[in-house]
Structure 1
Amino acid sequence: MLSLDHLVINTRFDTDAAEAQFRALGFTVTPRGFHTLGSINHAIVFEDHYLELIGLPADGSTVRAEIAASPIGTDGLVYRSDDAQRTYVRLRADGFDVTAPQHFSRPVEGLGDARFVTVRFTPGQFSGGRVYFCQHLTPEFVFRASWRSHANGAYALAALHLIDVEREAYARLGEPAPGFDLAFHARAAFDARFGTLAAHVALRAPRYGAITLRTPQWREMGDRATQAQLPFVVEAARSVVALPNFDTLLEFVP
């Protein structure tokens, strides 16, 4: 079973706006991080996983190639590794083409450097978005109690919705651990599930299109979306909020 580490929304050069929208929706957003790889980020942290808003400095002072080359919107699925070197060896033995473990870090004010090791797949093996593994060398700098409490009650990422994506490579990689699912849709089925809000997800394919989150306050997300001036629907068992500038839908369920 594969444990989710985080999902990634690529904000490109508009990270300020993404941060503001997630704060307006009632999320606690971590202070801005500056990776040694050149990217910037914020995280929305849950118990043992998180949603990452990643981007590049608006002044163009640094460029991280895979962020610049990836489309804006949800584009990253990251599983947890307890030992990056062992993960690298296992994936190679399973026939995947992966790059050697990559070390990087970002400062966390008052604590030190949050340090990570990632194992990445060379392009072309997974359709839809970037898939990789991440080992946390300093998890206490990421999963802080003060960052895990959200005004909107959100407590977990429940699903990633994939559109017109080939399942085979994902299935060969393994099944996600209980609590998080990969939901595969043909574009027509995605549009039927999300109705008029699906129009805010561009027609490019294959791609990742939506993220499902759990919160007991799912009914109130319409009020928060109204205040944030974002399109939304509230239905019998869920709310859905569109992020038009970030080509993504957020589905909130109990």
Structure 2
Amino acid sequence: MTETMLAGPHSPGAYPLDHLVLPTASLDVARARLDSLGFVVAPTGIHPFGTENCCVFLEDGTYLEPLAVGNAQAAAKAIADGNVFVARDHTYRGKRGSEGFSALVLGTGNAEADHARYVETGLSAGDMLSFSRAVTDAAGKSDTASFKLAFASGAGATDAFLFACERINAPKVDRAALQIHANGATGIIEVVAVSDEPSEQRRLISIAARSPAAGQGSSIAFGLLNATLTLLDPVAFEKRFGMAAGAPSELCFAAIVFSVRRADAVAKLLAARSVEHDIRGNDIVVRPASGQGAAFIFREIA
């Protein structure tokens, strides 16, 4: 993906988008919904602290992480032990339900430095987290992936958080087959968040992503290294996508814009699978549903 494909500022120091966390009540429901949208879904991944996922990997290196609670007892223990990832997931579900879009994850080469920066600026959401889990490719080959995470959040922004993810050990598995999707999706070019007061969230996002903000008022953009994070107020969100932004929030993630090879092929696939969608300009908009906690927008990129 080239920078000319992206809107907004792109600071040389800006972090790349790594992945997005999408809470769901059931991985089976999420898997079925994502399959109906034309995505290939990876085998279930088990975390050592009670949660589990079924990821969608994209050619540009980003991915979706549908997240469910697989072991409630282990998750409760993790929360008691200070696991920020599980605690924030629990808080999100308690306030906004078990289907949604809770976190934007940034790629980093030094999570410890990010944690120190978040602490210094008063934006740390809690202790760092290091863990490993098994990863399996489409052919059934397994390896171990290891991560180190540093968390950032605004004082009142309980509906969303950001974290920096350092990949300590890259698994030696072949994901090529998992990146070829029937809908032709190749990457994530934009993430859209909503805030009742967008200007109040500028500092959090700028510091977390190491990216200056462009724009003001109802629409603010932050250029990540490989995508754009757009922050809208509820009126601007509804005007752009033709749907309400949902319950009032200081900050919540609401939509994901995917690059696709052919928009007409996406529309044909969705129609054939009886998936409701709207055409708004150059975008194909699919509203959130069970197993799909955000609006999905498909856009053809030449």
1:36 is the counterpart of 2:48: yes
Matching residue within 24, 31, 34 for 1:22? 34
Q: CA RMSD in A?
A: 2.4
Contact 1:24 / 1:227 at 8 angstroms: preserved in 2?
no
What is the TM-score of this pair, normalised by structure 2?
A: 0.74
Find the aligned partners of 1:223 and 1:149 in 2 and give their Cα distance.
Answer: 18
Q: Which residue identity is paired with 1:22?
A: L
Find the aligned partners of 1:130 and 1:142 in 2 and give their Cα distance.
Answer: 29
Matches within 5 A, 1:39-54: 39-46=51-58, 47-54=60-67
- How far did 1:77 drift? 0.6
1:192 is the counterpart of 2:239: yes
1:181 is the counterpart of 2:228: yes
1:250 is the counterpart of 2:263: no
Matching residue within 202, 206, 209 for 1:171? 206
1:204 aligned partner: 248
Q: Which residue identity is paired with 1:9?
A: L
Identify unmatched segments of 5+ residues in structure 2.
1-13, 76-85, 212-222
Summarize the Cα distance change of 1:171–1:62 in structure 2 as closer, same or farther, 3 Å threshold. Answer: same
Matching residue within 75, 99, 104 for 2:126? 99
1:161 is the counterpart of 2:181: no
Summarize the Cα distance change of 1:142–1:235 in structure 2 as closer, same or farther, 3 Å threshold. Answer: farther
Query: In percent, how many aligned pairs have the same letter?
Result: 22
Deviations, residues 81-107 of structure 1 (Å, cap 9, x unaligned): 112223223333444335343111221
Count of residue pairs brought into register by the alignment: 249
Find the aligned partners of 1:231 and 1:128 in 2 and give their Cα distance.
Answer: 27
Deviations, residues 42-73 of structure 1 (Å, cap 9, x unaligned): 1111232211111112x746434332221331
Summarize the Cα distance change of 1:124–1:219 in structure 2 as closer, same or farther, 3 Å threshold. Answer: farther
Indicate the SS of the match to 2:116.
helix
Find the aligned partners of 2:62 and 2:207 in 1 and give their Cα distance.
Answer: 23
What is the TM-score of this pair, normalised by structure 1?
A: 0.86
Matching residue within 134, 137, 140 for 2:165? 134
Q: Which residue identity is paired with 1:101?
A: M
Contact 2:144 / 2:171 at 8 angstroms: preserved in 1?
no
Contact 2:23 / 2:68 at 8 angstroms: preserved in 1?
yes
Structure with greater contact order relative to length (CA < 8 Å, sep ≥ 6): 2
Summarize the Cα distance change of 1:232–1:10 in structure 2 as closer, same or farther, 3 Å threshold. Answer: same
Q: Which residue identity is paired with 1:205?
A: S
- How far did 1:213 drift? 0.7
Identify unmatched segments of 5+ residues in structure 1.
none
2:82 aligned partner: none
Find the aligned partners of 2:273 and 2:87 in 1 and give their Cα distance.
Answer: 31
1:118 aligned partner: 149
